[in-house]
């Protein structure tokens, strides 16, 4: 079976982008520095166009294999633009303020694919496996002064995920084992890791 889809999604601005103000201290000495997130009442909805296609084959009665690929186009994406810095004397102590405004200053895309196997050798036994790859690339719009979100989008998502599972049922008992491996994150940095779960019920 072949399938394909084209989808459009819109994220309506929240009050965080349009009304919210917060202050965060990022340095205490020798001169205190505060980042001030500024609201933007003109923040526009973020837009996404998604293109997907996939193929599923059933080579045997109890075995399925699926491969799917996708490409997403992001427009009007959230950026945090640095405005002109200034020194404040009130409230004390004297400190440097870095105002950052929410803007629609980024665009980008993501692409990847996923392969899945689902095999049931017997009515009581199931084996599954999955691999997915994801690449994300963002860029600034002309005039953008984004200071954080461009690299956050690209580096805070793992490129590779692997998952495998084994399930069995015997009378009133069931057993499940799941193993997953996640590649490293450039942001952080956060190393890759593997984790597993065992369930007996």
Whole-number Å distance between alpha carbons of 106 and 72: 14
Residue with tokens 């009130």: 90
The β-bridge relationship of strands 193-200 and 173-182 is: antiparallel
- Comparing C-alpha atoms, which of 120, 113, 122, 135 is closest to residue 183? 135
Find the radius of gyration of the CA atoms of the chain. Answer: 24
Dihedral class, residue 140 (left if φ above 0, else alpha if ψ from -120 to 50, else beta): beta
Q: Which residues pair with 39 in a beta bridge?
A: none
Whole-number Å distance between alpha carbons of 176 and 126: 9
Q: Supply the mean pLDDT for the chain.
A: 93
Q: What CATH number did the domain enclosing 183 receive?
A: 2.40.170.20
Print the domain residue range for 144: 2-200
For the chain, what is the domain count? 1
Q: What is the pLDDT of residues 95-121, one digit of tens each?
A: 899 999 999 999 999 999 999 999 999
In degrees, rounded to 5, the angle at the alpha carbon of residue 157 between the alpha carbons of residues 152 and 160 is 150
Q: What is the pLDDT of residues 18-64, one digit of tens each?
A: 998 888 888 888 889 988 888 999 999 999 999 999 999 999 999 99
Q: What is the pLDDT of residues 166-187, one digit of tens each?
A: 999 988 999 999 999 999 998 8
């Amino acid at each position: 079976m072949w399938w394909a889809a084209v989808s459009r999604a819109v994220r309506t601005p929240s009050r965080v982008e349009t009304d919210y103000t917060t202050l965060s201290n990022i340095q205490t000495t020798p001169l205190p520095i505060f980042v001030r997130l500024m609201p933007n009442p003109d923040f526009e909805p973020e837009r996404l166009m998604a293109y997907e296609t996939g193929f599923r084959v059933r080579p045997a009665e109890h075995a399925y294999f699926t491969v799917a690929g996708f490409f997403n186009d992001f427009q009007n994406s959230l950026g945090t633009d640095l405005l002109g810095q200034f020194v404040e004397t009130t409230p004390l102590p004297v400190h440097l303020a870095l105002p950052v405004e929410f803007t629609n200053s980024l665009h980008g895309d993501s692409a990847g694919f996923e392969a899945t196997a689902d095999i049931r050798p017997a009515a009581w036994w199931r084996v599954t496996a999955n691999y997915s790859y994801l690449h994300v690339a963002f860029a600034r719009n002309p005039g953008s002064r984004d200071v954080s979100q461009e690299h956050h989008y690209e580096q805070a998502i793992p490129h590779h995920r692997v998952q495998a599972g084994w399930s069995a049922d015997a009378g009133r008992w069931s057993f499940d084992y799941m193993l997953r491996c996640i590649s490293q994150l450039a942001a952080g940095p956060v190393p890759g890791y593997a984790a597993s779960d065992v369930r007996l019920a």
